[in-house]
Structure 1
Amino acid sequence: MTSVVFVHGTGVRAASYEKSFARVVSGLGRARAEARVVRCFWGEEHGASLGLGGASIPVRTQNRGVGGDALLDEDDPLAVWALLEADPLAELREFAEAAKARRGGGAARVGFAPGRRDPWQDTADKVRGLSLKAVADGGGSLGELATDLAPHLGTAGARVAHEISRTLGGTPPVDGIEQIAARAVYALAVGLAEGLAEGPRGVGEPVEADGADRDTVVGALTEQLGGTGRGGVAAGAAKGIAVRALNSYLSPISSLAHRYRGRITNGSVPASGDILRYQARGAGVRAAIRAAVREAAESGDGPVVLLAHSLGGIACVDLLADATEPPPEVALLVTVGSQAPFLYELDALTSLRRDEPLPDAFPRWLNVHDEHDLLGFVGEKVFPDRVTDLRVNTRQPFPRAHTSYFAHQRLYELLAPELPR
């Protein structure tokens, strides 16, 4: 039986690893049911933490806004989702401003009349009643995403409904609200699921979501509101809305970042700290991977595959390139969203200098990347004839593209025929 040892990346702790592990088991099970997935969780023992309780973080005495000058590319098709990652209600507010401007251009305010119901109230009521049952029953990664979001859909819908009533009440009806409201509900539900209600940057676990599944969920919500699931506003006006709103959002978020520095630093320690700690204390991570490989080989009585994400891929390359004692049981290395080729080019790998080739005993290497993942690199030009690059498209903006690989069924479809038997 082929054993696939799943090695996580930076910033992962127990709850997050178990969720990702379950996704790998589910996704790989649909593509190669006979393959066995084996745990390799190193984050708890070898991951970073603030051992002195954050004593190194300075206390800010004044809050000064620091303006940002980075602009969102207007031609980026993922602009609207980059905006909603930062502010889930921004697009809805832009829509309301456009509706008010239309009224100022000649459309009369509806106002109150006995027995007449504000049409925006009907929209708000529909938003409050949104459900994910139809997509949850479909199973697979789509069902898993719906299950993650379902507990937060009511709260998200209530907030969007309130925003619709507050900003659009008394305004003449305008087409196009359905999909904008659906995206706002989705973005808020994701934020609530990740713990973002705690502050500008939450400390919850990331929601792994493939872009196609996201679009299906938004499409289902849009249809419940009486609109169409794709195209329309998203393809045209939303892009310009995203550019205007996000660029104006950058300055205040910088000020908030300073105000919440302690919380942000604590929340980011696992992700950034694991990388720094690995560079100085990486032997423990590599030992954990070696032990998991040995256990998988002994219990599975078959070939062993290393499936490693991000920093986990770096550790696996370092382990397998170690000339002293590389684990002979590994028949295939699969790195996903990994920086290993980049670090080799920088001459920053632990076990392999830039002018050294991969050892002859190094196993076959598949390297999976998404072009929207700025932390994923390619290896075919770095290690000619030793690495095969596989490109996927999770249809997610960065940084979510880096954390969504294992919710993307296409990944498992590409890997299934490559796994040894």
Structure 2
Amino acid sequence: MLVRRSPRSKLANALINPPASRLTIRQWLQILSTFIIFFNTWGLLLTCGVFQTYYEQSLLQGQPSSTISWISTTCAFITLSGGIITGPLYDYGLYRLLVLSGSLLQVFGLMMLSLSTKYYQLFLSQAICVGLGAGIAFTPSVAAASACLPNLASRARAMGLMACGSSIGGIIYPIMFRYLVPQIGFAWTIRTIGFVMLALYLISYLILVGHQQKPTTVRRLFDVSAFTDLPYMMLCVASLLSATAYYIPLLYLPLLTEIRIPSISSNLALNLLAIVNGASAVGRIIAGIAGAVFGPTETIAVSLVLGSILLLCWIAVDTIAGTIVWSIFWGMVSGFLVALPGAFLPLFCPSLAVIGARSGMYWIWVGLGMLIGSPIAGGIYDLRSGSRDWWRLQVFAGVFMMGAAILTIYPIIHLRRKA
């Protein structure tokens, strides 16, 4: 007797029974290359807390926290929003030129940062030059990784692995900064970071040797059809809200911890960022596995809910042990938010031909959230005031993260209806 099985979409089959396939050498090289670019771009962005602390305590004493935070947030905005230009240029076939020019410009910006002593110099070198170089290299690399991994399950796992690069960079760069500045000074510490970055970029160039991408027709900077694609636009707005909240702990965790817990040592306060980024690496690996099993969009929705709960629980954390535990959990949950966009964005593209443009459009929303989030938080609560109203900053972050989770519901329903 024959039993007729109900039809199942390709998406559902990929999620439930992902086909086993071995990655080629070129795919592994692309994963390595994108891992390194995550290491050098997001890894440096995750180091913003140590820069913020050093600038407030040494180079820029007397400047308000919100003013100083514009350096890191502008760098993050340019890094992520640069994809609005580089995404279509990737579609046009300029991947090699983008990675080469972006990486060299980022290293050059760090060398100029090592010579900077005034606010405008720090802003031009770190926010503009480093941010622009990182932005030129970041989006094309993620788009190339998505394009070379057409299988949904493989892509989700690989994106989790590649995004671990930012966590490892977020561990190594803060530790380098923290321990080298007292020994060799700010200038040579930044130069050392620049040399490490350059050496890693040289390894990432392996994928560029013999890389072939046929230029397609010239595309507009915007995929106009995206503005009428409601699920995609809701994800973009959700990314704006989540990014607004995401950057606040990274920028203010060391300083806020020293204010709330005077007994904590300065070393441990700065090392909290390394703890967060170390836990984030574990979260990104779990995110890749969970995204392959349950779906990347569903997984990121759950992580947004957990993230909002953790940000609100941050209000009650007032001990050293509690801060360390909170940092570990926050690092794991925040790792999901960085690892999965590269896996779910292709699901909301009508074809892979526009993946560069839509990726760039998505990341500009993320960059805008990171640009405004921390300065607004600094305006809500001035760390120099010494008041006990820090809970306002934490509620602000938690509410925005919850809003992002709510906006993700409809895109999930849309995907399931298509399936």
TM-score normalized with structure 1 length: 0.24
Whichever structure has more strand as a proportion of its residues is 1
Structure number with greater Rg is 1
Q: Which has the higher contact order (CA 8 A, sep 6+)?
A: 2
